[in-house]
């Protein structure tokens, strides 16, 4: 299953793994990234709910933004390498 997800999101994962710089990775970073993905997904679902109530096509902007951020967080947190997770958090 993870191999199929890696193949599907390989452009994103390859962009995150780009470079040979040392990375600062801790396992808690991956867990926090998955929780952030869940929270952004909840924000996206809430935006869909309120967009339906408001009937406004401009509400599509936050829906797409929150869902995109949640997708990136979930994919990198679930199948990304340690370097990809560290790149999201920043190398310090």
Mean pLDDT of 15-35: 82
pLDDT at 37: 96
pLDDT of 91 above 70? no
pLDDT at 59: 86
7-27 in b/e burial notation, b at 16+ Cβ within 10 A? eebeebbeebbeeeeebebee
Q: Are 35 and 42 in contact (CB under 8 A)?
A: no
Predicted TM-score of the model (pTM): 0.84
pLDDT at 46: 93
Place of tokens 């408001």: 54
Question: What is the tens place of the pLDDT at every residue in 53-65?
Answer: 988 888 899 999 9
């Amino acid at each position: 299953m993870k191999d199929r997800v890696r193949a599907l999101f390989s452009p994103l994962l390859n962009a995150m793994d780009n470079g040979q710089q040392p990375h600062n990775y801790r396992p808690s970073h991956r867990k926090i990234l998955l929780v952030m993905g869940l929270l952004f997904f909840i924000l996206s679902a809430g935006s869909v709910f309120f967009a339906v109530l408001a009937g406004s096509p401009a509400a599509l902007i936050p829906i797409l933004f929150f869902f995109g951020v949640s997708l990136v967080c979930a994919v990198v947190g679930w199948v990304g390498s340690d370097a990809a997770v560290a790149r999201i958090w920043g190398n310090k």
